Amino acid sequence: PVRDRRRGARGLFEKLAEGLERDGEEGEKLVKRFGGVALFVIDGVEFTVDLKSGKGRAKEGTFDDAEADITVTCTDETFLKLAGGQLNPQAAFLTGKIKIKGSMSLAMKLQPVLGALAPKTKL
């Protein structure tokens, strides 16, 4: 079961990377709102979301030319709840479900990034 959940987080980051690549306008909006580089460490696996400039980019691992402004560490289960809107990032931090290292002002802006990771349902 852990492997399946990890694939879920990996899948969300892959979709975000594809979405940023495909929809530059949406990426530019996220860059304007967040303005930083977030490193997510999920069950020991690193994923980077670079929303510092341009249209943004995301990938598993890190970018050689982008240092993280904030590092968010959590379990895969917690991450999927955050991305799905079932868990508020501030509440998760206050209850110890996520650890945040780096810019606390960026931590307060995590919701739009997590919203972009949320699976979109097509009607």
Q: What is the pLDDT of residues 84-110, one digit of tens each?
A: 889 988 899 999 999 999 998 998 888
- pLDDT under 70: residue ranges of the chain: 1-7, 119-123
Predicted structure pTM score = 0.86
Q: How far apart are CA 89 and CA 81, in angstroms?
A: 10
Distance CA 111, CA 71 (A): 15
Residues contacting residue 17 through CB under 8 Å, at least 6 positions apart: 57, 58, 59
